[in-house]
Copies of this chain bind each other. A is one copy, B any other.
Amino acid sequence: MVINQNIKIAVDAIVFGFANNALHVLLIKQKYGLIKNQWALVGGFVKDDETLYQAVNRELEEETGVKVNYLEQLYTFGDDIHRDPRLRVVTIAYFALVNSTKLVLKADTDAEDAKWFQIDQIPKLAFDHISILECAKKRLQSKLTYQPIGFDLLPKEFLFSELENLYCIILEKDIDRRNFRKKIMSYGIVEETEKYGSNKNGRPAKLFKFNKMKYNKLLKDDFQFYINLA
């Protein structure tokens, strides 16, 4: 069977991380070709013998060395025929979250040109990557409210205030700390530990961890989790 089609398939990953009270995105600086020295999303062409999932994981590994905590398909961009001026490329974008402890990039990989950017300090990006990023940001904001994915951005043990901040900052909203805590606690998804965090100022704060079983259950069932900041 011969099909006369000359379109190439790529994958791209929008990798989010949360650190220093800010949302960050992982970008790479292109080394070669048309878009040399431009910043772009992590990604590349899919090989004939690998799945899409393998492709995006391979690119993440090769280009950044980052291990993601959460990965899901976001959207397939193929309605702008000239999004890559060189040839027709359809790209399947993936949405990824990284635990903030893994946010430091190892210098020893060939990831020397990978860098985290604060979401409000994104440089000019190659192709249509800025609109893909916009799409991912919306998805993040939306998912945060109805799925407990926020925990994939935090370390295993975290302060309650870190969780609060994460929601405030990503959703760009204020929060009622008491009501937020009540709600989160009602899902049984986080548990107090006996340890205390090391904050400089104020009353010492307990460390919390999240209950993976409850988390998994809530991730599967839709409409079981819902956080609405006033």
* Partner-B contacts on A (CB < 8 A): 1, 3-9, 33-34, 45-53, 73, 75-76, 78-81, 86-88, 90, 92, 142, 145-146, 222-223, 228
Contact = CB atoms under 8 A, between A and B. Distances in A.
A92 B79 contact: no
As for how many copies of this chain the complex holds, the number is: 2
A73 B90 CA distance: 14
Given A86-B1, A87-B1, A223-B228, A7 B46 contact: yes
- A interface, over-half SS: loop
13 contacts: A1-B33, A1-B86, A5-B47, A5-B48, A7-B46, A9-B9, A46-B78, A46-B90, A50-B81, A73-B76, A76-B92, A145-B223, A146-B223
Contacts of A48: 4-7, 88
Contacts of A78: 9, 46, 51-52, 92
Contacts of A33: 1
Nearest to A89: B3
A142 B223 CA distance: 9
A120 B5 CA distance: 36
Contacts of A8: 3, 5
Contacts of A49: 81
Nearest to A34: B1
A30 B88 CA distance: 29
Given A3-B45, A5-B46, A8-B3, A80 B92 contact: no
A210 to B, nearest CB: 23
Contacts of A46: 5, 7, 78, 90
B79 A76 contact: no
A85 to B, nearest CB: 10
Contacts of A6: 48
